[in-house]
Structure 1
């Protein structure tokens, strides 16, 4: 991402200014995650698409602001997620609700959503406002779906994909589309990048769910197996359930003991469910890559392609 290093540095500086508030507690809570410096995958994708589809390889002020808005929305969702899932760490540091409390964390998340909405409105583009506003609605839908299906061993792959779209892929799909809208691109280009973002988002979520089973907490920046422990059904678990009925009993008991959780992880690892989940992730990433290769090969798409391949290589 060499070509957007300057933009990403400026983005980090602007995020601090955009969350300014006179309330020191709210500011400290909001600043907690931004100081942790996430991977900034979503803003990077927006900035790279902006360069790819522009006539002269440039990024407009509005597209830069959109990248910042997307990261604020993403961060707000993480603050709320950590409260719902009782996650103690995020991006390698203590989560907001453990530093303060649940009430402050929820208010901090609400504050970030409100700030993103204000900056979104100031883009003065009704189509972009409509497109990005849907993300917040989808977040809520995804959380409700996840909540009502927790510890439900009858969850299907189709339900998992739908929930993953709402919770993760919608943000990327809508942000990528909004990037094209700001470029005044044709509706076909807008739809291409909506699908690109959707497939990237689904692939990213499936990979995240694999890493929840296979990685250590230090590498994840959050507690390992937290999804499993909270009864959040992920691709590896759903695929393993088809082969190991013993998992059903553990789920019914809601993984009451640490040894039960560890045993469940070992059972999942011994099936081919992780490889099948990798295949699902790769299928989505390859669909995104094909959009770039088939329709935008005449442009300098190398960096966006490399960034897309990077997402897949996280599990290899």
Structure 2
């Protein structure tokens, strides 16, 4: 215990001297990067930044490369920029932390003997199965890639020395591939989100839709998701395939929820047009909206009792958190669960890893929504105040609404009248909406930390995960 804490303190002090201008979130990322970086890469002068994240991006390009040069440029555009890459970092760190659990206690996995040329015997099967690589392909390459027998970029992919990396770092090949898949899915969602939100910057430079047009950005996002699903299937684990595929669907569901904005949609939302079903299909109702008061209500304070107003706000908050889970926490939580499954961990460990990712993801989104009110566009690397401009009510606004009923009509009309945004900003400041949001984020952070400590042995990697989780509240981009 003392050794781990002292080593962590030394590393933190060294990094604080080196990164004095950075937030503790930046320091945490730098510290975590070193824990998932082979020594040979730390001394690699070719790498722009000596972390495994750079090799991860290169490996991804080997997975997604197309025979069309323009498509390659669009899909690689966001990978070229310096991003946080928190999601693959979490997968890699969690993989290392899980490796601290003895192999004999990570036997909750069904061995697929088709992974081996000859049936293994003795105690070897479990170890060999856990350390087996994703399959290269199921179908012949000429079928997968079309007319050409092999994707041109796939030939250029140069894998890192796997034995040295995996044996020394405790990260299994399939877990490393999972980290790459997670970043592919996330990047595809960024391409799509920037089109939907009419964003003009991302990671401090012009967004993909601005550089390449909306159509190309959407198609590139679709292509990334297609390549990701191929890679998911090659992990040869049905539950992991289900988890990661459903996380893609969750991203779309969350975006649809955001189009509705909040649960008390007036029915006049200009983003959506209600179409009467023709009755040819018996469609099961599956609406995420929670029960609210009749839409003809104006939500003005004089037309509602205190209890009615509180009911609507509570419904709106539940709707907001559900949307936040689907848009942000789903990919993080399901990738953490998949990481534990690939390690062969027991069910209680798998469940705690999932809950860790869920709570951390919600904390991350709450902080993101806070930054929209507190950080300039230059610091944030993307437009600040974008949510209000899009008519989206996040936690700071909902907390202010609890104290200021006059915000109800503004929220209902999506801040589309002159002076609405200014009034909301004043109310959020007056009623401490940002501080209350930070308090909620702290609660989710604490739950995430508890999940880690309940099931994972002490290790440098667990300490790095704790450090990273704690520092999310201090990030500035």
Distance 1:79 1:246 in 2: 36
What are the equivalent positions in structure 2 for 1:150-229 lying under 5 Å apart?
Answer: 152=265, 156-229=316-389
User: Which structure 1 segments of 5+ residues have no match?
Assistant: none
Aligned residue number for residue 312 of structure 1: 473
Range that drifts further, 258-267 or 136-145:
258-267
Distance 1:64 1:278 in 2: 33
* Matching of residue 287 in structure 1 with residue 319 in structure 2: no
Distance 1:263 1:119 in 2: 48
Distance 1:284 1:34 in 2: 29
> CA offsets, 1:124-144, max 9 Å, x none?
221210111110111111111
Aligned residue number for residue 24 of structure 1: 69
Q: Which residue of 67, 82, 87 maps to 2:179?
A: 67
TM-score with structure 1 length normalisation? 0.93
Q: Which has the larger radius of gyration?
A: 2
Q: In 2 relative to 1, CA 290–21 (structure 1 residues): closer, same or farther, beyond 3 Å? A: same
Aligned residue number for residue 35 of structure 2: 3
1:172 CA displacement: 0.6
Distance 1:244 1:273 in 2: 11
Tell me if structure 1 keeps the 8 A contact 2:97–2:457.
no
Tell me if structure 1 keeps the 8 A contact 2:362–2:444.
yes
Range that drifts further, 262-271 or 29-38:
262-271
- Counterpart of 1:280 in 2: which secondary structure? helix
Tell me which protein shows more helix as a share of its residues.
1
Aligned residue number for residue 252 of structure 2: 140
Q: How many residues align?
A: 315
TM-score with structure 2 length normalisation? 0.63
- Counterpart of 2:65 in 1: which secondary structure? coil
Aligned residue number for residue 97 of structure 1: 209
Tell me if structure 1 keeps the 8 A contact 2:329–2:357.
yes
Distance 1:61 1:216 in 2: 40
Distance 2:76 2:54 in 1: 16
* Matching of residue 85 in structure 1 with residue 197 in structure 2: yes
Distance 2:447 2:62 in 1: 37
The higher relative CO (CA closer than 8 Å, separation ≥ 6) is in 2
- Counterpart of 1:156 in 2: which secondary structure? helix
User: Which structure 2 segments of 5+ residues have no match?
Assistant: 1-31, 39-51, 103-166, 266-298, 300-311
